[in-house]
């Protein structure tokens, strides 16, 4: 496989560990076994992320006993020491660790870990002071663009720069309706901003990432869960372990098929070239000195003789020998 076609797959735990470090460990194991490149979490201090009166989004209300975002987030948080442990555990399991930090203190902590990227959630795309802090880390950035306009993205890039940025197309509904994914935006973002692009997928489908890759996505981020029936806001819009493994398997097949940005004869098909192409042959008996014409020439397999592309050159020329029917010229 051409390494340029390598798709980075991020298995997003998010808060689907439900505040339980043992569940988080198990999800790292599943991400590894599924073939993901990264396992990703969300790091936050609830009191620094939202005010007490911050209401729940519609998808967060379903089956929830909480009446505001701070209470909900407190239920699903893990401590910095938990994440330090999970980082080491992921390293032991030989899978890369990633996280989204949602406020300054969590970002400072995340920056102490040797992560390859800083992930910026769609909700922080207009958070100027936070973007400036991320810029100072000098790390590569994955910028989600859910519920964002072209102007929002341009403003964020003016702060972050483009050198280390990968833009992730995203729909910020949970789960995202298939008819609202607008995956053509991936090509638009790539052409508009001249940055690498990817796709953060909140749909319930395992096939939408393939469409995204076909449109130029080099990074795929997908939420997964231990069980879709668990309580929590993101479980229903996440893949179960079997679906995650199936999706990654499909992506690995797909990335092998992409190839290079050129058209050439492949090694596998070259052996069939002579068998599928044709050569110019005698349509009937041709006597020496007879002129070649449409009446006495035709094209038939195999293609190891004179190419039909030289047809016009032969027309009207005299035969230098006798030819039997179907004999190559």
Same domain, 65 and 142: yes
Residue 327 pLDDT exceeds 80: yes
Side-chain-side CA neighbours of 178 within 13 Å: the count stands at 7
Residue 327 in any domain: the answer is: no
Residue 276 in any domain: the answer is: yes
Compute the distance between CA of residue 313 and CA of residue 14 in angstroms, rounded to an integer.
Answer: 68
157-211: pLDDT as tens digits: 999 999 999 999 999 999 999 999 999 999 999 999 999 999 999 999 999 999 9
37-54: average pLDDT: 96
Same domain, 104 and 224: yes
Does the N-terminal peptide bond of residue 175 adopt cis geometry, omega within 30 degrees of 0? yes
Same domain, 274 and 154: no
77-95: average pLDDT: 98
Same domain, 286 and 234: no
Same domain, 21 and 168: yes
Residue 1 pLDDT exceeds 80: no
Residue 7 pLDDT exceeds 80: yes
Q: Which two tokens stand for residue 135?
A: 């810029």
Is this structure's pTM higher than 0.85?
yes
13-19: average pLDDT: 97
Same domain, 246 and 167: yes
Residue 323 in any domain: the answer is: no
Same domain, 78 and 159: yes
96-143: pLDDT as tens digits: 999 999 999 999 999 999 999 999 999 999 999 999 999 999 999 999
Q: H or E element: which one contains 73?
A: helix 69-75
Which residue range is the domain that position 277 belongs to? 267-314
- pLDDT at position 64 is 76
Same domain, 221 and 308: no
Q: Which two tokens stand for residue 137?
A: 């880390």
Residue 187 in any domain: the answer is: yes
209-225: pLDDT as tens digits: 999 999 999 999 999 99
Same domain, 135 and 53: yes
Residue 38 in any domain: the answer is: yes
Compute the distance between CA of residue 105 and CA of residue 253 in angstroms, rounded to an integer.
Answer: 40
Same domain, 14 and 47: yes
Query: Domain total for the chain?
Result: 2
Q: Which two tokens stand for residue 109?
A: 């902590």
Residue 220 in any domain: the answer is: yes
Residue 324 in any domain: the answer is: no
Does the N-terminal peptide bond of residue 302 adopt cis geometry, omega within 30 degrees of 0? yes
Same domain, 185 and 272: no
Residue 48 pLDDT exceeds 80: yes
Give whole-number Cα distances, 238 to 11, 189, 202, 227, 308, in Å: 10, 25, 7, 9, 56
Angle between helices 185-193 and 150-160 in degrees, nearest 10:
40
CATH code for the domain of 202? 3.20.20.70
Residue 329 in any domain: the answer is: no
Residue 4 pLDDT exceeds 80: no
């Amino acid at each position: 496989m051409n390494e340029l076609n390598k798709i980075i797959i991020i298995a997003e735990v998010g808060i689907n560990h439900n505040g339980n470090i043992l569940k988080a460990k198990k999800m790292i194991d599943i991400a590894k076994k599924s073939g993901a490149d990264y396992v990703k979490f969300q790091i936050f201090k609830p009191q620094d992320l939202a005010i007490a009166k911050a209401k729940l989004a519609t998808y967060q209300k379903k089956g929830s006993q909480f009446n505001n975002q701070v209470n909900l987030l407190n239920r699903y948080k893990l401590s910095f020491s938990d994440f330090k442990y999970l980082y080491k555990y992921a390293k032991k399991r030989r899978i890369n660790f990633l996280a989204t930090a949602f406020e300054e203190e969590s970002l400072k902590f995340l920056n102490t870990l040797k992560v390859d990227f800083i992930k910026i959630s769609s909700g922080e795309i207009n958070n100027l002071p936070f973007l400036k802090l991320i810029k100072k880390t000098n790390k590569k950035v994955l910028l989600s663009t859910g519920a964002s306009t072209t102007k929002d993205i341009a403003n964020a890039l003016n702060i972050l720069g483009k050198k280390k940025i990968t833009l992730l197309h995203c729909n910020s509904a949970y789960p995202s309706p298939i008819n609202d994914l607008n995956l053509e935006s991936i090509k638009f973002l790539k052409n508009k901003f001249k940055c690498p692009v990817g796709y953060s997928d909140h749909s319930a489908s395992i096939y939408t990432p393939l469409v995204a890759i076909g449109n130029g996505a080099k990074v795929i981020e997908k939420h997964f869960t231990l069980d879709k029936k668990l309580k929590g806001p993101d479980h229903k819009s996440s893949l179960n372990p079997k679906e995650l493994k199936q999706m990654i398997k499909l992506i690995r097949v797909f990335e092998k098929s992409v190839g290079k940005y050129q058209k050439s004869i492949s090694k596998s098909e070259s052996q069939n070239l002579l068998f599928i192409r044709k050569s110019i042959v005698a349509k009937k008996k041709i006597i020496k000195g007879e002129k070649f014409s449409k009446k006495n020439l035709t094209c038939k397999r195999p293609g190891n003789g004179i190419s039909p592309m030289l047809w016009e050159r032969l027309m009207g020329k005299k035969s230098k020998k006798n030819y039997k029917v179907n004999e190559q010229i």
